[in-house]
């Protein structure tokens, strides 16, 4: 059995730790980041927001961004979280 260090921010750290512990490992949680919302409103002319983490989708939803503000995602977890919050999505495509 190994001890696994989880450095993800909360609440993802707890979910990851539970999955690792279920595999029989000891877990140490020590997040390298703390995610905090900024009290900043989206300018009215914004049509899309590039989101690089699930935390970005959560923050955008908490700010009450209208669903026509399409989060441009960089991965599947962002798409799933965004769909649950009612956002339309555009994928970033590689050239």
Spell out the residues 6+ positions from residue 68 whose beta carbon is closer than 8 angstroms to its own.
Answer: 47, 88
What are 11-22's pLDDT values in tens digits? 889 999 999 999
Give the DSSP H/E element, type plus range, for residue 26: strand 26-29
Higher pLDDT, 20 or 35: 20
| Residue 55, both tokens | 């935390």
- What pLDDT does 86 receive? 62
Q: What band does 80 get if pLDDT is binned at 50, 70 and 90?
A: low
Distance between CA atoms of residues 56 and 30, nearest Å: 21
């Amino acid at each position: 059995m190994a001890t696994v260090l989880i450095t993800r921010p909360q609440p993802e750290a707890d979910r990851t730790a539970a999955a690792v512990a279920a595999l029989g490992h000891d877990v140490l949680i020590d997040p390298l980041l703390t995610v905090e919302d900024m009290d900043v409103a989206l300018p009215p002319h914004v049509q899309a927001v590039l989101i690089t983490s699930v935390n970005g989708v959560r923050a955008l939803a908490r700010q009450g961004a209208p669903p026509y503000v399409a989060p441009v995602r960089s991965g599947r977890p962002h798409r799933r979280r965004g769909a649950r919050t009612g956002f339309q999505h555009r994928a970033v495509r590689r050239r």
